[in-house]
Amino acid sequence: MNQYIDHTLLDPTATLIQIHKLCEEAIAYKFASVCINPSYVLDAYKILEYSNVKVCTVIGFPLGATSTQAKVDETKQALKDGATEFDMVIHQGKLKAHEYKYVQHDISAVKEVVGNQILKVILETCNLTDDEIAKACQLAEAAGADFVKTSTGFGSHGATPEAIKVMKANISNRIQIKASGGIRDAKTAKQYIDLGVSRIGASAGIAIVEGTSSDSTY
C-alpha cells in the first residue's frame, strides 16, 4: 500500500516545519512521493535527495485557470528546484466551452517542459459531467500526460468510484490514474486500487497504512 501513496500537504497555511515533518514521514513509511506547493520544492528536495521518495508539486493549482505560459514558467522553476512529478490542473472552463485545442495544448506545453518526468493532469471531476471527464482523459492522453487524477482536494468532493470507472474507460494502458480527495482509510484506498488506480493522493497516508482513522479532508 505504501508505494501507492503521494503523502500530501497542500494547505495554504503549511509551514516549512510541517513540510520537513511530511518529508521525514514519507521516508519512514517509504511513500512514493511528497506532494507539496511549489514554493517548498527546493526545501523538500534537500531533505529527500538521498532517499527514494520523489518530490511532487502542483501546477496551476488549485483552479487551473492560469495561462499556459504561467503554468509553463511555474513548471520550469519547480523542475529546476528538484521536482520530478508534476500534478497540473486542467483548464475546466476551456473544457466546458469545448475549446479542446486549447486544453490539449495547455497540457502538452507543460509536458514538453517536464520531458521524461511524470505529469499528472488533475480533472477536478466533481465539476465535470461524465462526458467531460471522458473528453478530458482523451485530451490528456493525446497531450502526452502520464496520469489523469481525480481531484485537487479543494473541490466540493474528491474521488468517487464512478469517476474512476469513466476515467479508466477513456484511457489506454499507457496512462495511469491517481485518486485523491477524501481518501482517509485503508478500506477506501484498497477500493480504488482494486479499480485500477496506481496512486493515492492523501494527507492521511499514515492513517491509511496503519489502519487508523483520520479527519483529514484531502
Cell of 90: 486542467
Cell of 199: 496512486
| Contact indicator for 77, 58 with CB cutoff of 8 Å | no
Rounded Cα–Cα distance for residues 122 and 188 (Å): 20
How long is the chain?
218
Rounded Cα–Cα distance for residues 218 and 212 (Å): 16
- Who's near 29: CB < 8 A, 6+ residues apart? 2, 5, 7, 205, 206, 209
Choosing from 71, 111, 120, 149, the catalytic residue is 149
Strand segments, DSSP code E, in the chain are: 5-9, 33-36, 54-59, 85-89, 118-122, 147-149, 176-180, 199-202
Active site (annotated) includes residue 178: yes
Choosing from 87, 106, 111, 146, the catalytic residue is 87
The residues pairing with 180 across neighbouring beta strands, listed in sequence order, are 201
| Contact indicator for 104, 142 with CB cutoff of 8 Å | yes
Active site (annotated) includes residue 135: no
Active site (annotated) includes residue 71: no
Q: Which of 95, 32, 33 is nearest to 58 (CA)?
A: 33
Active site residues: 87, 149, 178
